[in-house]
Copies of this chain bind each other. A is one copy, B any other.
Amino acid sequence: MERVVRHFQEELETLKQRLLAMGGLAEERTRVAVQGVVDRDHEAIQAVLTGDEPINDLHIEVDDRCFKLLALHQPMAADLRAIVAAVKINTDLERVGDLAVNVAEAGKRYLQHPPVKPLIDIPRMGDIAQVMLRDALDAFVRRDLALAEAVLQKDDELDALKTQIFRELLTYMLQDPSTIEPALDLLLISRHLERIGDHATNIAEDVIFMVSARDVRHQPLEAHGPGGRG
C-alpha cells in the first residue's frame, strides 16, 4: 500500500510537470506569434503556424495520465480534485495553443498590408496574457490561492487594453478606409490575446475551487478515510 501511495504521488507530480511544460510551450508560442507581428517576421509567424504538434501531443498525454490516475488509484478528496482540475487545465492549455495559431494566422494576413500603426498595446496584451498563464499554472502546482486570485485581477488590465485598442483602431478605420482590412486583423489579434487571458482566468478559478473545496470538504472525508496522504 505504501508503495502504491508513493507511486501515486510521483505520478501526480509528473502530471503537474507535464502541465507546466505544456504551459511553457503555450506561453512561448504566444510570445513568438506576437513578436512576429511586431517585427514583421514572416519566419517566426510561419513557425507558429506549423508547430502546434508538441502541445497537441501533450494534450493527449495529459488526458491519458489523468484517466490512468483516476482509474488505477481511485484518489479521494484533495488528490481527486487536483486531477479533475488537471483535466480542465489541459483543455485550457490546448486552446491557448490554438489561439497562438490564430494570432499567427491574423498576423500573416496583417503583414500583407503596410503597418497601420506602431504596435505597443498589442505586445503589452501579449505580455500580460503570458504572465497570467504562468502565474495560473504556478498557482496550480503550488496550490497558491493568493497567486490565483492575483491572476483574476490582471484580467481587468487585459480588458482595458482591449477596449483601448478597439477605440484607437476604430479611429484609424474611420479616417482612412485603406486601414480597415489590416486593422480588423489587429482587432482579431487583441481578441485572441484577451481569450488567452480568459483561459488563464479559468485555470486560476479552477485552482481557487480546488484549494477552497479541499479546505471545506477535507474534514468529513478524512473522518471516513484511512488518513491523509501528506
A residues contacting B by CB (< 8 A) are 63, 66-67, 70-71, 74, 76-77, 80-81, 84, 87-88, 91, 170, 173-174, 177, 180-181, 184, 187, 191, 202, 209, 221
For the A-B complex with A70-B70, A87-B87, A91-B91 known, give 17 more contacts whose Cβ atoms are closer than 8 Å: A67-B80, A67-B84, A70-B80, A71-B76, A71-B77, A71-B80, A71-B221, A74-B74, A88-B88, A88-B91, A91-B202, A170-B180, A170-B181, A173-B177, A173-B180, A174-B180, A177-B177
Q: Which of B71, B77, B80, B174 contacts A177 (CB 8 A)?
A: B174
Give bound CA distance, A209 to B90, whole Å.
15
**Chain B's nearest CB lies how many Å from the CB of A103?**
14
Q: Is the CB of B81 within 8 A of A84?
A: no
Residues of B within 8 A of A84 (CB): 66-67, 70, 87
30 example contacts (A-B, Cβ-Cβ < 8 A) are as follows A63-B209, A66-B84, A67-B80, A67-B81, A67-B84, A70-B70, A70-B80, A70-B84, A71-B76, A71-B77, A71-B80, A71-B221, A74-B74, A84-B87, A87-B87, A87-B88, A88-B88, A88-B91, A91-B91, A91-B202, A170-B180, A170-B181, A170-B184, A173-B173, A173-B180, A174-B177, A174-B180, A177-B177, A180-B180, A191-B191
Q: Which chain B residue lies CB-closest to A91? A: B88
Contacts of A88 in B (CB 8 A): 87-88, 91
Docked CA distance A66–B173 (Å): 49
Q: Which residues of B contact A63 (CB under 8 A)?
A: 209
